[in-house]
Structure 1
Amino acid sequence: MKLPRRLEPRLMQRLIKRSLPTSLFGRSLLIIILPVALMQIAVTWIFFDAHWQTVTSRLSDGLAGEVAWAVESYQDDPTPATLTRIADRAEESLNLSIALQPGRDLPQGRRTNAFAVVDRSLERALAQRLDAPFWFDTTRYPAYVDIRVKVDEGVIRILAPRDRAFATQGHIFVLWMAMATVLLTAIAILFIRNQTRTIERLAAAADAFGRGIDAPAFKPSGAREVRQAAQAFLAMKSRIQRHIDQRTALLASVSHDLRTPLTRLKLELALAEPGPRTGEMKRDLAEMEHMIDEYLAFARGEGGEVVETVTLKTLIEEVSEGAIRAGAVVSVAADPELQARVRPNALKRALSNLVMNAAAHGEKVEVSASRRPSGGIEISVDDDGPGIPQEQYEDAFKAFNRLDAARNQNAKGVGLGLAIARDVARSHGGDIILDRSRLGGLRAVVRLPG
């Protein structure tokens, strides 16, 4: 199937984007290494094309002329004395070894040189200078080139030094270019890695702060721009922490001021004459106290708690006791060895909201904890209640939102249970998702990083 012309550039762009590295380290390295590599390739190509091949061609032409002189001189007077005179002169003046192999023929095959340009240059030069059939081999001997020419008496064999046939220093140039490329690459990797490491530290510190974990060892370092970003992060962190401290102090004061009149009212009702109106007022006060607790918990967010390593099964069993006392049938399935680094009270409050919510809307509750194959920990809370329509899953997490049409049995709720639970999960770097339970009701899945 042939793609339309307008889709081909888009497909090519997508393929290029997918093939490019995604990390800053990889992209920076590509920006530095790619021009260097292209420059080295261009320089090497220019060297071979403009210098090495030219020198090799001239050397091959010179050697071919000397071979042609020796063969033609022998053919003018094909006697042993002439051959001896030519061989002595060639060895003394030209550093060539010449010998006659009577009655022999030229070899049929020839091994190919790794540098094909060497064979092509020498073959072209010999073909231009010689009329007789010839054969040569540039690979048989490390320091010599074997050239053989057919004459009437047999074959004249000529051994010439390799540097008489082609430039032998080309590989040294290539080696130096390769070593320079490796050295430059190593230096680039070292410097780029030092720069990206500071960015990784900044990202780790920001992520830890977002999950409520302090990173006191973090200090601005690296390039000027990275240090500016780190200093801006530390200033932002200080302002946010100051705001949290002020809000916590304000909430503590509000909590104290609200609980004082509530306590007086509860005391007056306890001393009042029992009656229907007294009981209703007590229930109103209990509901008001529960609402204040939820409002304060939602605003406070358990942000100042220290992160600890806890055993999840023990924590879940402690949370489930409240639902069991409320009359629900709760079963817990978790590996006794499964642990996680969390803020215990915050996670306990989030799970308590989920479990109590499940117990309020169903008779059977199942809580399980396991490690995900892709990494991280998953805690599931299932109930057999009426459930929630799928299109209302996200609405259930909105603060003060009560889905009365589906789950309106909890008269004391103010619509903050799921909002608090998701806030706690996200402050740990995870999240909460809702789904249909295999028990027929709602499933709430808490996902935490491992």
Structure 2
Amino acid sequence: MKIGMKGFKRYLPKSLFGRALLIIILPIAVMQIAVAYFFFNAHWARVTANLSDSVAADIAVATTLFKQTPTIERAQDLDSLLRPDMQLSVVFREGETLPVSQRRQMFFSNLDKTLRRSLNESLTDSFWFDTTRYPNHIDVRVEVDGGYLRFIAARERVFAPTGFVFIFWLITATVLLTLVSVIFIRNQARPIRELADAAEAYGKGKTLGTYKPSGASEVRLAGHSFLKMRSRIQRHMEQRTMMLAGVSHDLRTPLTRLKLQLAMQENTEEVRAAKADIVEMENMLNGYLDFARGLEQESPERVHFLSYLKGVSEGKAVDLNQDSIPDNLEIEIRPASFQRALDNLITNSIKYANGASISLALTSTHVEVFIDDSGPGIPKNLRKEAFRAFSRLDSARSQNVEGVGLGLAIARDIAQLHGGTLKLTDSPMGGLRAVISLPR
């Protein structure tokens, strides 16, 4: 049962618009089908049967009267009698036989069955009829001695004409209700789509533009909650940056005094070690500040990606695979932030493998940047840990040049800021491959 339900759900609409439309249209369609079914079986079929019985009875009486005096003049007299009041014409076709060709069936074949039943009950002679040749008349032929009688009856005398009118208005009402539903549901789904686009834009670090909560009260509430959440996140980021910037500023003053004091000391081994510790402390402060600014706002720019990567790799031990980069490829990024991410990854590769290789792969929706090296790499079970801020693996592979364990964390934050991802995998060169995936 569960497997059947899962298979059924695959065919259901995935969007809110499609599901809401299905919720409204499906009951309307079921109701219209049920109404049409009961109408045809209860009302229309009964009325049509009564009409068919009446016409069949008139034809039977006319046939009996003709048999009493089977002449052309008698047929003409019957025609003059029946045509004005009963809308039934009579013609005697002397020497002719009933058609033997297969008659075409109407779409509503039940009407033919009703007429056939009525004629079978009223006539003892062979007959043939056609309901499709004429749009407004029915052709009935009854075999008699010396030929056959041809009766032409008005269609509304045989079949209830209101049925087609009913079907027309049923379909028209369904179409109108569907159009109204589509317009209404689209207006309800648009604010949700706008909220989703605003959330996606904010996730990529873009401005929200003129987004304003609208739609139903629940959607407006979600929109206002999103704007409040964005304000809280921005305030938190600003406070974090200000706090770390303040700490960095406050610590630089005593560090500067210590550097001056050490510079006045003799250049002994202890003094050199103290100077190295101070340099390391400064690098740590810079690393903390870089991490705090990892989500700092920067306006996106559309750049020529090949030229951009050439500038990033210039002067570094980096092999740029230009053949994998289309010359006309342009992508929207934050140049300074994205360069910081690439620098961190390239620095790690150079530090632990003495070089890096950059290549590209394109899909229909994303650009994938590969940074490969031939170093020791990172075991699979430690790759998730490597992305944690201030994480220092035993191999020291995830540390940035300052040695505070923030290189990969900053690079991942920047990739996510661009709406992309950063993952680690095995490199074809035998070391580590860092893959930055960005939307095109």
TM-score w.r.t. length of structure 1? 0.92
Contact 1:402–1:415 under 8 Å retained in 2: yes
1:434: which partner in 2? Answer: 424
Query: How much has 1:89 moved relative to structure 2?
Result: 0.6
Decide which of 139, 144, 147 is 2:137's aligned counterpart. Answer: 144
> Residues 245 and 399 from structure 1, CA distance in 2 versus in 1: closer, same or farther, beyond 3 angstroms?
closer
Residues 85-111 of structure 1, C-alpha deviations (whole Å, 9 max, x = no match): 212111122121111111111111211
From 203, 207, 222, give the equivalent of 1:229.
222
| 1:366 aligns to 2:357 (yes or no) | yes
- What is the aligned counterpart of 2:81 among 83, 86, 89? 89
Residue 397 of structure 2 corresponds to residue 404 of structure 1:
no
Q: CA deviation at 1:411?
A: 7.6
The answer (yes or no) to whether the contact 1:63–1:164 under 8 Å persists in 2 is: yes
CA distance in 2, matches of 1:408, 1:219: 42
> What is the SS of the residue equivalent to 2:319?
strand
Query: Counterpart of 2:302?
Result: 309
- Figure out how many residues of one structure are paired with residues of the other and give that number: 437
Which stretch of structure 1 is more off in the superposition, 34-43 or 261-270? 261-270
Provide the rounded CA distance (Å) in 1 between the counterparts of 2:287 and 2:62.
108
Q: Percent identity?
A: 48
Residue of structure 2 in register with 1:4 after alignment:
none
TM-superposed deviation, 1:24: 0.7
- d(CA) in 2 for partners of 1:114, 1:212: 61
- Is the 1:102–1:155 Cα contact (8 Å) retained in structure 2? yes
Q: Distance in 2 between matches of 1:242 and 1:208?
A: 18
Q: Is the 8 A contact 2:345 2:411 kept in 1?
A: yes
Query: Pick from 104, 128, 132: which aligns with 1:135?
Result: 128
Once the two structures are TM-superposed, the CA of residue 280 in structure 1 deviates from its matched residue by 2.0
Residue 300 of structure 1: CA displacement? 2.8
Change (3 A) 1:93 1:125: same
1:121 corresponds in structure 2 to 114
Q: Which residue of structure 1 aligns with residue 26 of structure 2? A: 34
Q: Which amino acid aligns with 1:285?
A: I
CA distance, structure 1, for counterparts of residue 400 and residue 222 of structure 2? 48
Q: Runs of at least 4 residues of structure 1 off by over 6 A?
A: 408-411
Which of the residues 324, 331, 334 maps onto 2:320? 331
Tell me which moved more, 438-447 or 281-290: 281-290
Q: Residue 332 of structure 2 aligns to which amino acid in structure 1?
A: R
Q: Which amino acid aligns with 2:384?
A: E
Question: CA contact under 8 A between 2:346 and 2:356: conserved in structure 1?
Answer: yes
Whether 2:292 is the aligned partner of 1:299: answer yes
Cα offset for 1:166? 0.6
Q: Decide which of 373, 397, 417 is 1:383's aligned counterpart.
A: 373
Give the CA deviation at 1:251: 2.3
Give CA deviations for 1:341-365 in whole Å, capped at 9, x if unaligned: 2222221111111000011111331
Question: Which residue of 243, 266, 272 corresponds with 1:279?
Answer: 272
Secondary structure of the residue aligned to 2:424 is strand
The secondary structure found in structure 2 opposite 1:157 is: strand
Does the alignment pair 1:106 with 2:95? Answer: no
Name the residue aligned to 1:320. Answer: 313
Question: Given residue 36 of structure 1, which amino acid in structure 2 is its aligned partner?
Answer: I
Question: Would the aligned equivalents of 1:313 and 1:369 in 2 still touch at CA under 8 Å?
Answer: no
Matched, 1:253 2:246: yes
Query: Could you tell me which amino acid in structure 2 is paired with residue 249 of structure 1?
Result: M
Alignment deviations for residues 253-282 of structure 1 (CA, whole Å, 9 cap, x no partner): 112112222222223333333232232222
1:155 equivalent in alignment to 2:155: no
Aligned twin of 2:404: 414
Query: Is the Cα contact below 8 Å between 1:382 and 1:442 reproduced in 2?
Result: yes
Could you tell me the TM-score, scaled by structure 2's length?
Answer: 0.94
The one of 63, 78, 100 aligned to 2:70? 78
1:98·1:159 contact (CA, 8 Å) conserved in 2?
A: yes
Q: Contact 2:97 / 2:147 at 8 angstroms: preserved in 1?
A: yes
Cross-structure match for 1:18: 10
Measured after TM superposition, the shift of residue 30 of structure 1 is: 0.8
Shift of residue 377 of structure 1?
1.3
Larger mean Cα displacement after TM superposition, 208-217 or 56-65: 208-217
Bigger CA drift: 387-396 or 434-443?
Answer: 387-396
Q: 2:188 aligned with 1:195, yes or no?
A: yes
CA deviations over 1:152-172 (Å, ceiling 9, x no partner)? 111111111111111123222
Q: CA deviation at 1:210?
A: 2.1
Distance 1:411 1:37, change over 3 A: closer
Q: C-alpha separation between the residues in 2 aligned to 1:81 and 1:293?
A: 120
Q: CA RMSD in A?
A: 1.9
8 Å CA contact 2:103, 2:130 repeated in 1: yes
**Bigger mean CA deviation after superposition, 372-381 or 394-403:** 394-403
Q: Match of 1:5?
A: none
1:317–1:332 CA contact under 8 A, matched in 2: no
Contact 2:400/2:407, CA 8 A, preserved across alignment: no
Which consecutive residues of structure 2, in runs of 5 or more, have no partner in the other structure? none
Return the alpha-carbon distance in structure 1 between the equivalents of residues 47 and 318 of structure 2. 92
CA distance in 1, matches of 2:396, 2:268: 34
Could you tell me how far apart the structure 2 residues matched to 1:168 and 1:34 are?
A: 29
**Paired residue type of 1:128:** E
Q: Is 1:58 matched with 2:71?
A: no
Residue by residue, what CA displacement relative to the aligned partner does 1:33-53 show, whole Å, maximum 9, x if unpaired? 111111111111122111111
**Cα shift readout 1:308-355 (whole Å, capped 9, x = no counterpart):** 222333333333246x2xxx3533533343222222222111111100
Structure 1 residues 160 and 56: CA distance shift in structure 2, 3 A:
same
- In 2, the alpha carbon distance for the partners of 1:205 and 1:79 equals 89
Deviation at 1:182, TM superposition (A): 0.8
Aligned to 1:355: 346
